[in-house]
Amino acid sequence: MAGSLSVALWWAGLLNSLQNAFVLAPKDHRPLLIVPTFWVGAALILTVSLAVAVDVGRFGGRRSFIYLGGGFLGLAGVSLLASWLFSIDILFTPIALAASISAVTMQVKRLRERDIQLTEKLNLASGKFESLQSDDAQNRLLSGLKLLDTVLSPSEAVVFRRDDDGRLVSSARLRAAQGGPTDTSRNSAWRDGVRLCERAMAAGEIIVEQIESDDSVANIALPLRHEDRTAGALLIRVSKEFDEDDRALLMAVGGQMARNLQREEAHKGTGKRSLLAFFSARKAEQKLQSLYVLNGALLEQSVGVNALSEMGDGIALGYLDGRIAYTNAALAKLAGLTHDQTRNLSFFDLLDSFRTDVFDEPAIAVRRVLQAGEAYERELHFPNRNATYGLRISLVLDNSIAASSETSQTEVAPQPLCLALVVKDLTLLKEYEQLKSDMISLMSHELRTPITSINGFAELLSADDKLPEQAREFVTIIANESQRLSRMINTFLTVAKLQRKDRQEFLKIPLRLDEVVKETVASLQRVAKKRRIRLVEQPTPRLPPVAADKSMITQAVKNLVSNAIKYSPERTTVTVSTMLEAEAVRLCVEDRGYGIPAEARDRVWEKFYRVVREGQEKDEESTGLGLSFVREVVEQHGGTVDLDSEVGRGSKFSFTLPRL
């Protein structure tokens, strides 16, 4: 197009006066210059124009304009010499005009393409955080007004924004006394409030105006600003004197409302882009609005990081190049460093502050986290500090990418963002655990000794034939109660030991649950017959083994079967069965007893909880620890417990263990 325009101007003779400036009179005083024919001249002009366009499009304006400027000077010199020595006009003026227009047009085209890319990226980035519909924007503004209503109790609060004509219009309104709609265009008080907001926006500060009214004492106009840009105004009518201490609150809430208004404006401005948008001041304003929305969203997103400073645990975030992105004061204190010292450290230098015998190679720990994506956790003991820390290193992923891929056909893996270091001070917790362990040891040794003595002497007294019948009855009660107390202490100590997670005491071997069932049923047959209960075994042939501690699992099965026998009516059946379920082996103990009410089914696994049937008292022989023991043992073996019961028809207790 540039070349065609230049050809047309040249052929029409409109460039003759300018063209004569770059030719000299021939040396031999010939009256006429030799001018190329139309087609030769047109081909020359179009060729140069196309070459310049390709050059600018490929190398850019800065590099191309240097060479083009030199080319223009050289071509002007050639034109002067050719006309003076050879009486030839090389058409410098139309060529230079075509080249100039072509270069400028191509540069404008490149700028427009970059502008389109910039606009798309801005819209995408601002919309990635949040794309507000009009209802969402209204709700956000009303939420801010309700916050002010809770703190300041205004009689009325109105959020204003500018419309396309630059006038202030109401965007959200909250009134203390809800009444019918008011005609704001004829309300002088409303117009006064709008003028007050105009003054506040022009001054860029809060303006308080005292008024005389029955329900209001002052009008407060607050400009809604974010990044030195006013997005609207907030008008508040209060029925009490304005407290200067509330300025900080109003400015904070006003900043949030300004960001909400900017989001709303940016959402309205995202539409179809015209070809001349690059030259539109309004489109440039919309791009600027998108940038403010993006900055506001980034500011709000930073609340998560800033909130880490209030955490009691030490927290640090490290970029994947080893630089530290953030550390809170608690971590600096646990590392024995000042906050200023942490700024000059790398992530690995920070980890070196927590080196111990079990954490002597931080680089290896970080490498495992990056390779497997799984967190690294250790308990670190520092004898010189008399402290115990819990350390966790994990990889933080960008979940927004995974969330956006849920709606698309292609699945995108979450992108790693940074490394997170969390350090907890476990010193007091370990002291409490030690205290608990000491109490358990006290119960284990100090309480068992007197109970054993009481039980032994009670049995000796009950064996004395000369003892009166009433005294013999009392001694028998003493012996039975001491035995029950001994069983309760033994069960409690076992459960407490399990809760301490002393898994190293487990001797896990390949174990067949059908064999455990067979031994348990055989050992409890005498007890079942004594209570007139039929105890039945239903094994599954070729049942795969599980990895388990035989004594612990046997005791768990025995607890379930004993409970079923104890709480079943006479002449009923208790069935113990095993079965294979996918990758687990299930053991079930089913009775035809009284059943368990629905409200008690979740609590039967709790320590010391005992089910009370209607019209009966609690079983005093029960400790309430049997089922709790079963759950602790099964869960520490990687299994789960289950209960299916119906009142009046019986219960089925079961648990699963992973098969080998």
Write the pLDDT tens digit of every residue in 166-178.
Answer: 788 888 888 765 4
What pLDDT digit, counting tens, does each position of 355-377 carry?
888 888 888 888 888 878 888 98
Nearest to 95, CA basis, from 74, 115, 109: 74
Alpha-carbon distance of 128 to 400, in angstroms, equals 9
**What integer best gives the mean pLDDT of the chain?**
78
The confidence band for 132, taking pLDDT boundaries of 50, 70 and 90, is very low
Alpha-carbon distance of 56 to 87, in angstroms, equals 33
What's domain 140-175+187-301's superfamily in CATH? GAF domain (3.30.450.40)
Alpha-carbon distance of 610 to 604, in angstroms, equals 7
**Angle between helices 247-269 and 134-152 in degrees, nearest 10:** 170
Q: What is the dihedral of CA 270, 271, 275, 277, to 10 degrees?
A: -30
What pLDDT digit, counting tens, does each position of 405-442 carry?
454 555 556 778 888 999 999 989 888 877 877 777 77
The confidence band for 276, taking pLDDT boundaries of 50, 70 and 90, is low
The confidence band for 577, taking pLDDT boundaries of 50, 70 and 90, is very high
The confidence band for 213, taking pLDDT boundaries of 50, 70 and 90, is low
Alpha-carbon distance of 39 to 12, in angstroms, equals 14
Q: Which residues have CB under 8 Å from 657's CB, separation 6+?
A: 513, 546, 548, 553, 584, 585, 587, 634, 637, 638, 639
The confidence band for 137, taking pLDDT boundaries of 50, 70 and 90, is low
Report helix, strand or coil for 592.
Answer: coil
Report, as an integer, the average pLDDT of 25-49: 76
- Please give the residue that has the higher pLDDT: either 326 or 82: 326
Read off the DSSP letter of residue 599: G
Report helix, strand or coil for 199.
Answer: helix
Rounded to 5 degrees, what angle do the CA atoms 602, 608, 614 make?
A: 65
Q: Which residues have CB under 8 Å from 547's CB, separation 6+?
A: 508, 509, 510, 511, 637, 658, 660
Position 51 scores a pLDDT of 85
658 pLDDT above the threshold of 60: yes
Position 279 scores a pLDDT of 58
What is 505-658's CATH topology? Heat Shock Protein 90 (3.30.565)
Q: Are 230 and 125 in contact (CB under 8 A)?
A: no
Q: Are 105 and 53 in contact (CB under 8 A)?
A: yes
What pLDDT digit, counting tens, does each position of 298-324 carry?
565 566 677 777 888 999 988 887 888
* pLDDT-wise least confident of 27-31, 336-340, 423-427, 640-644: 27-31
The confidence band for 389, taking pLDDT boundaries of 50, 70 and 90, is very high
Alpha-carbon distance of 579 to 656, in angstroms, equals 10
User: Which residue has tokens 């098969």?
Assistant: 659
Which class is 305-425 in CATH? Answer: alpha beta
The confidence band for 393, taking pLDDT boundaries of 50, 70 and 90, is very high
Alpha-carbon distance of 258 to 296, in angstroms, equals 9
Side-chain half-sphere of 466: how many Cα atoms within 13 Å? 0
Report, as an integer, the average pLDDT of 522-532: 90
For CA atoms 477, 483, 484, 486, give the dihedral sign: positive
What pLDDT digit, counting tens, does each position of 70-126 carry?
877 887 787 777 777 777 777 778 888 888 888 888 888 877 777 777 776 666 665
Alpha-carbon distance of 75 to 92, in angstroms, equals 7
The confidence band for 179, taking pLDDT boundaries of 50, 70 and 90, is very low
Report, as an integer, the average pLDDT of 248-265: 76
Both tokens of 625, joined, read: 């620890």
What pLDDT digit, counting tens, does each position of 555-575 carry?
899 999 998 998 888 889 999
CA distances from 438 to 85, 292, 433, 488 (A): 115, 61, 9, 18
55-93 burial by CB neighbour count: b if 16+ within 10 A, else e? Answer: bbbeeebeebbeebeebeeebeeebbebbeeebbbbbbb
